Amino acid sequence: MIGIRRMSLDLAEGIAVLHRTPSVLRALLGGLPDPWIRCDEGADTWSPFDVLGHLIDGEETDWMVRARLILDRGPDQPFAPFDRYRHLRENRDRTPGELLERFAELRAGNVAELEALELGPDQLRRTGTHPALGIVTLEQLLATWVVHDLGHLAQIARVMAKRYRDDVGPWAEYLPVLHR
Amino acid sequence: MIGIRRMSLDLAEGIAVLHRTPSVLRALLGGLPDPWIRCDEGADTWSPFDVLGHLIDGEETDWMVRARLILDRGPDQPFAPFDRYRHLRENRDRTPGELLERFAELRAGNVAELEALELGPDQLRRTGTHPALGIVTLEQLLATWVVHDLGHLAQIARVMAKRYRDDVGPWAEYLPVLHR
């Protein structure tokens, strides 16, 4: 299907993914033994727990905050820079279950707000100013939100897979996820 | 946590992942608009639909079939080669919902069978003969089963993410999943 360029983002299709992410993460991580939740790829890399915290930061400080800024202020007021390390400070004393619940609650509210906006093509073309990337559109922001979810889901799966890197023996060569 | 070598696989931890995969895939793909299920990364690459079919093939012809062969016959009887294209023939007329249900049913049966074996360290060290890789242990087979699930989950997320590759605009450089 790649190569067939759509005229513009089908917002309902994007929302279908955004809506599902909390239940995907709950199905994957809910009640899972802690070594899976806390494993990482080495120094200064993120565990599934850290990724959950980062996704919460996105809900609290990024996606809909920026969408509202585009709609209310346009490109004159640049977005606040996103703090990629906020979650490392905020979540020290939280449990994985608390993060899963918090993310689900925030995401449900943000998706409901997005749907209530009933955005049309004219609004999706509205622009804002990213502090590093410059002019971006609301459509690009919303597409990025979806891709960001899927990228971090892929990351969680990859980090977990590598926990068994030494256990698979000669099968390692058939498992590309271990070499990314 | 990587770098701390476990003495041997914690089977209950591995099973916790195997057990969850059907519900993860149902949460991610169940009822999702068809373009997400059918998108791929170009010619001769797999869509999420194809990956589901491949996972079903694993349940029907690979994992527990090979585990039983190791326990019953040892290394003298090599595994039958795994057919990576079987699903492309088998599933032409099936719906995504049918594949999700079929996978869940097969996986539940296989996990129940695995748990009923109550494998101990001696059995996990038993060997079989892979047609290409040579001597492998039951422990390596079971670790590979888990990594295989997680690798294909990462693949599904990546394939879906790339559907919006052209929609994210300048954010593409911040989204490594689009460049794998």
Please, what is the Cα angle at B121 between B120 and B125, to 5 degrees?
A: 120
pLDDT tens for chain B, 180 residues long, are 444 555 678 999 999 999 999 999 999 999 999 999 999 999 999 999 999 999 999 999 999 999 999 999 999 999 999 999 999 999 999 999 999 999 999 999 999 999 999 999 999 999 999 999 999 999 999 999 999 999 999 999 999 999 999 999 999 999 999 999
The closest CB to that of A24, out of B16, B24, B154, belongs to B24
B162 to chain A, any CB pair closer than 8 A? The answer is yes
Q: For residue B160, which of A160, A19, A136, A143 has the smallest C-alpha distance?
A: A143
HEC string of chain A? Answer: CCCCCCCCCCHHHHHHHHHHHHHHHHHHHCCCCHHHHHCCCCCCCCCHHHHHHHHHHHHHHHHHHHHHHHHHHHHHCCCCCCCCCHHHHHCCCCCHHHHHHHHHHHHHHHHHHHHHHCCCHHHHCCEEEECCCEEEEHHHHHHHHHHHHHHHHHHHHHHHHHCCCCCCHHHHHHCHHHHC
Please, what is the Cα angle at B71 between B68 and B73, to 5 degrees?
A: 95
B15 to chain A, any CB pair closer than 8 A? The answer is no
Nearest CA distance, B15 vs chain A (angstrom): 10
The closest CB to that of B143, out of A9, A146, A167, belongs to A167
In angstroms, rounded to a whole number, what is the distance separating the alpha carbons of residues A113 and A66?
Answer: 13
pLDDT tens digits, A5-42: 556 789 999 999 999 999 999 999 999 999 999 999 99
In angstroms, rounded to a whole number, what is the distance separating the alpha carbons of residues A171 and B132?
Answer: 10
The closest CB to that of A170, out of B134, B168, B177, belongs to B134
Residues of A in contact with B1 (CB under 8 A): 35, 38-40, 47, 163
Is residue B70 within 8 A of residue B140, CB to CB? The reply is no
Pairwise CB contact (< 8 Å): A143 & B9: no
Chain A (17-46) residues lying within 8 Å, Cβ to Cβ, of chain B: 17, 20, 23-24, 26-28, 31-33, 35-36, 38-42
pLDDT tens digits, A135-159: 999 999 999 999 999 999 999 999 9
